[in-house]
Amino acid sequence: MVDKILSLAKSLIAIPSVKADPKALQEVLTIAKNQLQDFTIEEFESNGSPSMLAYLDKKRPEKFAIILNVHLDVVPGKPEQFIPLEKNGRLYGRGAYDMKTAAAVMILLFRELAEKVQYPLGLQLVTDEETGGEDGTGYQIKKGVQADFVIAGENSNFAIRNEAKGILWLKINIKGITAHGAYPWLGVNAVLKASNFVQDIQKAFSIPEKDAWATTINIAKIESANETFNKVPDNAAVWLDIRYISQDREKVLNQIREILPRNSKIETIADEPPAYTSKDNTYLKKLAAIIEKHTKEKTKIYGANGASDVRFYTNAGSFGVEFGVHGAGQHSDDEWTDVPSLETYYQILKEFLQKTSR
């Protein structure tokens, strides 16, 4: 089986399926579609992002028992990263870990089991997870796609991520007073105000020294519309990427308001609540037990600092987790996945799907 997984994974990795290349997004979906010719394929498109949903019957079930969630888009990479390289038991390439090898497993597994399981099983393939997910998984849910339980093949090294922090993207718009650059005392420098605000943010929300289940703020950008040297800028903006644990949302907003510079406004760009599935969830407990059986190790269950498309389901009243292959280096120049682990990953998911009943 591992040879089939590798062959399909390499075909997927070879496609530079980034947001800026709509043709490549269609091409990578076509590779997946060619593996699913015996099934119903429902196609979607929102804001230029194509996606698909595969299932057995001619009519979409009112609610799937389980959906395997796959994203086939990747972040940009160097040209050589789209040439898959197998070396010393590892498969290198953009998307090898996040998440085209897991996608290959899920596509092949769906093809093998969709007709055999006694419940409606879905395979969801999207192309915009790396840029937000609203036009892929989010859009399909708006169009009525539902499930009891979702497994996203996000990189997790055989751990289960059962929750994720909420997301707030805030743009802090700061006003000043313009003046000639030779007479800065006649103006109020908005960029300087922005700089002082950033320092206050860093004092109030220090960056953890290591992985921690805590609210964090990343200063994503400081900008100004000023385009000349000899002018005191009268406007600036600070972009904040806030990842918050559930109990901190109002607390962090109140703290930001307290240190906000005068004549400033908060513009909300994104506001996504946390995702959560209880460790006592029946599907999760079964998956954890099967992982332990195959790995001979206690299954790690923990919260994710970053978000995945699972949040769209949990926020719509369903449940889901992230569960992915062994590897490292997501979004880096040396992204890889462990080849021997692919067979184990396949067998874990296969046993889970076979032993699940509604």
Q: Read off the CATH number of the domain in which 117 is found.
A: 3.40.630.10
Half-sphere exposure of 19 (CA within 13 A, CB side): 11
Q: Name the domain boundary from 272, 290, 308.
A: 272
18 and 129 in a common domain:
yes
* Residue ranges making up the domain that contains 48: 2-164+274-355
What residues does 166 pair with on adjacent strands? Answer: 244
* Contact assessment for residue 264 and residue 327, using Cβ atoms and an 8 Å cutoff: no
21 and 45 in a common domain:
yes
154 and 208 in a common domain:
no
What residues does 161 pair with on adjacent strands? Answer: 302, 322
Q: Name the domain boundary from 232, 250, 272.
A: 272
Q: Name the domain boundary from 272, 296, 316.
A: 272
328 and 204 in a common domain:
no
145 and 87 in a common domain:
yes
pTM of the full structure: 0.91
60 and 24 in a common domain:
yes
| Other Cβ atoms closer than 10 A to 357 | 9
Tell me whether the omega of the peptide bond preceding residue 52 falls within 30 degrees of 0, making it cis: no
The 10s digit of each residue's pLDDT in 170-205 is 999 999 999 999 999 999 999 999 999 999 999 999
179 and 142 in a common domain:
no
The 10s digit of each residue's pLDDT in 208-265 is 999 989 999 999 999 999 999 999 999 999 999 999 998 999 999 999 999 999 999 9
227 and 133 in a common domain:
no
Determine the average pLDDT of the residues in 7-33. Answer: 98
232 and 331 in a common domain:
no
> Quick one: pLDDT band at residue 306, thresholds 50, 70, 90?
confident
Q: What is the mean pLDDT of the chain?
A: 96
